[in-house]
Amino acid sequence: MADHGRPTTPVDDHLARILAAVEPLPPATVPLSDALGLVVASDVVAALPLPAFDNSAMDGYAVHQRDVVGATPESPVHLPVVGGIGAGAATIDDLAPGTAVKIMTGAPVPPGATAVVPYEWTDRGSHEVLIEHPAVVGQNIRRSGEDVDAGDLLVSAGTVLGPRHLGLLAGAGEGRVEVRPRPRVVIVSTGSELREPGQPLGPGQIHDANSTLLASAARAAGASAYRVGSVADEPGAFLETLQDQISRADLIVTSGGVSQGDFDVVKAALRDRLWFGDVAMQPGKPQGFGTVDGVPVFTLPGNPVSAYISFQLFVLPALRTLQGRHRVVHPLRAARCSKGFGSAYGKRQMVRAAYDAGLVAPVGGHGSHLLGDLAAANALIVVPEETTEVRAGDTVQVLLLDEEF
């Protein structure tokens, strides 16, 4: 679709161009304490059974089940107590028939014992115990390997490690795990008008919102983000910053300086090395992408809303690909739109919106500078290129900005 004569690239083509250029980071083995949220690079198989040995599920007495078959409160079974076994006990004697041994939860069950009778069913005797209820074979015994057997799959490649996976790996004795490392993302804002937040503004100056916005979005997506701050509209200075950062980045995101202006620094500096052009979307039309020294570089438009939406549509899938994730593109869900609005033909519109329980409504104005409206939104209504009007009550496709996927 042409926009005032300039050709535009469909959103899906631009995304395909990006995904074709990015692959998962080489795996690294890290301690479990550093692995939360990272993606497993190769299947992890249990080296040991879990539990590692038969052990007691209750504090009580290990017995031969046959010895307590007839036990009742009126006619309890009497057994001599031959000792005690605590959790961590290393050497355990066989349990002779007609005897009981005190046993604590988690302690190894002695060879010969076939059931554990809990304290509550007994008089808690130390030398001799009265047992008032019968037990079935295996009662209160946690069998070796009943949770996980040696050779079982603990976590498969592609799993995003959460607390429960890490707990399982730890319990199974794995101290380290092979993962895709956390991508290092470098964020650079461009624009001579930009000042660091917290600094006073001179005439014509504005605070740099984008580097904080994009670095936070990268961190929220599981990256380790380094915010360079802003560089002036001067290609030499910009290239120097880029060159300085490239060796410590897995992905670089710049904002500003990519449209039609007289001082479009990013385009001027990288014209020969990256693709620059218009993508058929609103906001986020002017885009640039390519690799520099093998590192993917995204040059996003400067308007903060455009930059953020471009991040969600294009940078996030690349970041997730580096992480080795299987699902890289935001899922869409159907929702009922409670308020009508118009949309430009030929562009995919990303309308800031508030979503709740299947209902969605646009938030604020269309301007790509409206940070207040962006902060009030939690979703984007994704309006297809050929749709020019959405009416109240229509079903629309919605992208939830804070959704885990």
Ligand X SMILES: Nc1nc2c(c(=O)[nH]1)N[C@H]1C(S)=C(S)[C@@H](COP(=O)(O)OP(=O)(O)OC[C@H]3O[C@@H](n4cnc5c(N)ncnc54)[C@H](O)[C@@H]3O)O[C@H]1N2
Residue ranges that bind ligand MOO, judged by CB under 6 A = 282-285, 301, 303, 306, 368
Residue corresponding to tokens 């503004």: 201
Q: Which 146-175 residues touch ligand X, going by CB under 6 A?
A: none
- Spatial distance between the Cα atoms of 121 and 115, rounded to a whole number of angstroms: 13
Least gap, CB of 262 to ligand MOO (angstroms): 18
| Distance in Å, CB of 342 to ligand MOO, minimum | 16
397 φ/ψ angles, rounded to the nearest 5 degrees: -95, 135
Site track 34-53 with ligand X (rule: CB under 6 A), x = hit: --------------------
Which residue, 67 or 193, is less far from ligand X as judged by CB? Answer: 193
What is the closest distance, in whole angstroms, from the C-beta atom of residue 275 to ligand X in the complex?
15
Strands 153-155 and 44-45: antiparallel
Of 182, 165, 179, 180, which is closest to residue 219 (Cα–Cα)? Answer: 182
User: From start to end of 91-173, where are the E strands?
Assistant: 100-103, 115-118, 128-131, 141-142, 153-155
For residue 55, state whether it binds ligand X (rule: CB under 6 A).
Answer: no
Instruction: Indicate which single residue of 8, 210, 312, 343 sits in contact with ligand X (rule: CB under 6 A).
Output: 210
d(CA 80, CA 83): 9
Of positions 64, 180, 227, 285, contacts ligand X by CB under 6 A? 285
Stretch that binds ligand X, among 95-103, 145-153, 201-209, 344-352 (CB under 6 A): 201-209
Please give the residue whose beta carbon sits closest to ligand X in the complex.
302
**Helix runs in 8-160, H state only:** 11-20
Q: Which does 75 bind (CB under 5 to 8 A by kind): ligand X, ligand MOO, none?
A: none
Residue 231 CB, shortest distance to ligand X, in Å, is: 10
Comparing CA positions, the residue from 170, 168, 137, 172 lying closest to residue 52 is 172
Minimum distance of ligand X from residue 360's CB (angstroms): 24
Q: Could you say whether residue 288 binds ligand X (CB under 6 A)?
A: no
E-assigned strand segments in 55-150: 55-56, 60-63, 77-85, 100-103, 115-118, 128-131, 141-142
68 with 134: CB under 8 angstroms? yes
> Which CB sits closer to ligand MOO, 76 or 304?
304
Least distance in angstroms from the C-beta of 347 to ligand MOO: 9
Q: From CA 350, how far away is CA 136, in angstroms rounded?
A: 64
The smaller minimum CB distance to ligand X, of residues 16 and 206, is found at 206
| The Cα angle at residue 7 between residues 5 and 10, in degrees rounded to 5 | 140
Q: Kindly state whether residue 27 participates in binding ligand X, applying the rule CB under 6 A.
A: no
Cα–Cα distance measured from residue 238 to residue 227, given in angstroms and rounded to the nearest whole number? 14
What backbone torsions phi and psi does residue 384 show, to the nearest 5 degrees?
A: -60, 160
| Number of helices and strands in the chain (H, E) | 8, 30
Indicate which of ligand MOO, ligand X, none lies near residue 206 (CB less than 5 to 8 Å, by partner kind).
Answer: ligand X
- Please report whether residue 193 would count as binding ligand X according to CB under 6 A: yes
Number of residues that bind ligand X (CB under 6 A): 27
- Asked if 286 interacts with ligand X (CB under 6 A), we say yes
Of residues 67, 174, 250, 264, which one binds ligand X by CB under 6 A?
Answer: 264
Provide, rounded to whole angstroms, the least separation between the CB of residue 30 and ligand MOO: 38
Quick one: CA torsion of 301, 303, 305, 307, rounded to 10 degrees?
Answer: 20
Distance in Å, CB of 274 to ligand X, minimum: 13
Q: State the binding partner of 110 from ligand X, ligand MOO, none, CB within 5 to 8 A by kind.
A: none
Partner touching 182 among ligand MOO, ligand X, none, CB below 5 to 8 Å by kind: none
The only residue of 25, 44, 194, 351 in contact with ligand X, by rule CB under 6 A: 194
Which entry of ligand X, ligand MOO, none binds 191, CB below 5 to 8 A by partner kind?
Answer: ligand X
* Residues in contact with 354: Cβ distance below 8 Å, sequence separation at least 6, in sequence order: 360, 361, 363, 376, 377, 378, 379
245 binds ligand X (CB under 6 A): no
Query: What does the alpha-carbon distance between residue 63 and residue 103 come to, in Å, rounded to a whole number?
Result: 10
Q: Which is nearer to ligand X, 146 or 196 (CB)?
A: 196
Cα–Cα distance between 383 and 360 in angstroms, integer? 13
Measured between alpha carbons, how far is 228 from 216 in angstroms, rounded to an integer? 13
**How is residue 366 written in tokens?**
């269309």
Nearer Cβ to ligand MOO (110/288)? 288
DSSP symbol at 25: P
Residues engaged in binding ligand X (CB under 6 A): 189, 191, 193-194, 206, 208-211, 255-261, 264, 283, 285-286, 301-304, 306, 368-369
